Amino acid sequence: MSTPSSFYVDEPDLIFASKKRFKDPKGGLYLFGPYGQYGNASYVNITTNAGIIGTAKSIGKVIDFFVYLHRRIPASDENSVDFPGLGLNGKLRYDIRFDSQWEQTIDKSNFDECERKIDRVERTEYLLGLIEDKLDAIHGVNPNPDVVFVSLPSDILKLCIVPGQRGLKITLAHKRFGSELTNEQRIGDYDFHDIIKVLGMKFHLPTQFILPTTLDMERKTLQDLATRAWNLAVAVYYKTRGVPWKLAELEPDTCYAGISFYRECSPDGQQYMRAGVARVFLATGEALVLKGDPFKWDDPRVEPHLTEQQAEALMNKILTEYRKSHKDRLPSRIVLHKTSEYTNEEKKGFLSASEKVPQKDFLFVSRSDVDFYREGSYPTVRGNVIKISETEFYIFTLGYVPQLKTFPKPGIPVPVRVKASNLDSSERLMCKEMLALTKLNWNNADFCDQMPITISASRRIGNILSEARARDLDISSEYKYYM
């Protein structure tokens, strides 16, 4: 048995406009501006054409909120960065444009009809039907907007939440599987937010769901106003084919893919597993999506795994899509992150399909169930790695960040466990890439997440594709529909 050791990995750089480098997303955006459009490193102006679905009041609040975001908004934390303000002449050279032709109003008669329905699920289904009709109407306008905000007041949302629940998250049914299924679980509808993403995809309209608390400029929330402004600006920028920042030190000929599994129900109640795949093509700044083939997995207590043939087919899909985007060239290296350990059959299948790819890293990535502590009163520094063996590592993707002079997350830092089934690269390169990929979540402007985007995106994709409304949909490969 080898003796555990540790080493430190330097913080990866990000690239912004004019190829300027910086480690902090907010700081880089503030100093240099966003990277630009897909494959275009020039500092270009981008305007998002935005539609809105909501009541007359909530539509007005959305517009007022983004008008307010044209001013500089001080950060409440001295270690954070002020939001510089929207506007084509500002630091971000980015703006959001609203137009009444892309507005769809939910009026009082709709609210009254929703309120009259006795069952909570019926009220939710009615509201989703309204949103689907409104998206269809916006889709009928030429040209289409780049994104559609869905903003509903709290009195409507409260009609649909579970009685006694705190917060405004609407869940139709919890994702339980087995012989004991409710009607809603058999149908397969689960989460209001995820269903809206599916409906947007149906009409080729990326959506941004905004809760009333996000728009409240007076009330104190978990995030200060500057943070909310940063997060919305970055997310909507990406949905307008913009790349807020790119990673500086990753190989352009490497394909990074994350695999997680999700269940779906067929109309007759049969349950199947699928693999949801997020692929990141860093040379172009794009993150793309694949859906694996269905397969039976009867025991929900055991982690799902692919047969050798299924693994080979999935890898062939990944490489085929890569070649489509790279002039029929294979990658020189593939990095595969998976949320369950690799079986011998899976490894054989992945290796067989990728035999012409010179380097292959197959990594099982999970949240550690082991706690580590350092001496003293400060949290462990982000970038510390504990090596247990030649194939097992614990990487602190969260921790004290020297660039911010703080630990920006609550609680005790928990490392990410990485177990290599096949590792052709150096362990330092693997660990640095893991850190880098935690900085590629364009759903916010945080310094980093705990999990790499390959894993967090594949899980998000799985949640959305498990919705019944996605079952017969020709799903989009563009990640902007899943954010």
- Strands 271-281 and 286-291, by their bridges, are antiparallel
Cα distance between residue 85 and residue 69, in whole Å: 5
CATH 3.30.420.10 residue window(s) in the chain:
249-481
* Closest to 49 measured CA to CA, from 121, 148, 151, 190: 148
CA dist list (Å): 259 to 227, 337, 415:
30, 6, 20
* Closest CA relative to residue 291, chosen from 308, 307, 313: 313
DSSP H or E run through 433: helix 427-437
Look at the alpha carbons of 120, 126, 129, 130 in this order and tell me if their dihedral is positive or negative. Answer: negative
Helix spans in 299-408 (H)? 308-325, 344-353
Token pair of 344, please? 């011998």
The superfamily in CATH containing domain 34-243 is Response regulator (3.40.50.2300)
Sheet of strand 246-247, all strands in order from the earlier edge strand to the far edge: 21-22, 14-15, 246-247
- At residue 317, the 3 state secondary structure works out as helix
* E-strand stretches of 341-468: 359-367, 384-387, 392-395, 416-423
Residue ranges, comma separated, of all CATH 3.40.50.2300 domains in the chain are 34-243
Cite the DSSP H helix spans in 89-182.
108-116, 120-139, 154-157
Euclidean distance between CA atoms 415 and 323, whole angstroms: 34
Integer Cα distance of 352 and 346 in angstroms: 10
Which pTM does this prediction carry?
Answer: 0.90
Nearest to 285 by CA among 332, 315, 328, 245: 245
Cα(222)–Cα(224) distance, integer angstroms: 7
Burial of 268 (0-12, 13-18, 19+ CB in 10 A): exposed
pLDDT per residue as tens, the chain (483 positions): 578 899 999 999 999 998 899 999 999 999 999 998 755 555 678 899 999 999 999 999 999 999 999 999 999 887 789 999 999 999 999 999 999 999 999 999 999 999 999 888 899 999 999 999 999 999 999 999 999 999 999 998 888 887 766 666 777 665 544 444 444 444 445 788 899 999 999 999 999 999 998 998 776 677 889 999 999 999 999 998 888 998 988 777 899 999 888 776 665 556 666 666 767 666 555 677 777 776 666 666 667 788 999 999 999 999 998 888 888 999 999 999 998 899 999 999 999 999 999 999 999 999 988 787 777 777 889 999 999 999 999 999 999 998 888 887 777 889 999 999 999 999 999 999 999 999 998 889 999 999 999 998 888 888 888 777 777 788 888 889 998
Q: Name the CATH architecture for the domain at 249-481.
A: 2-Layer Sandwich (3.30)
Q: What is the DSSP letter of 55?
A: -
Q: In what order do the strands lie in the sheet with 333-338?
A: 5-8, 384-387, 392-395, 416-423, 359-367, 333-338, 254-265, 271-281, 286-291
- By C-alpha distance, which of 74, 71, 95 is closest to 85? 71
Tokens of 82: 């002020």
What does the pLDDT read at residue 252? 77
Residue 370 to residues 341, 373, 415, 416: CA-CA distances in angstroms? Answer: 17, 10, 8, 10
Strand 392-395 versus strand 207-210 pairing type: unpaired
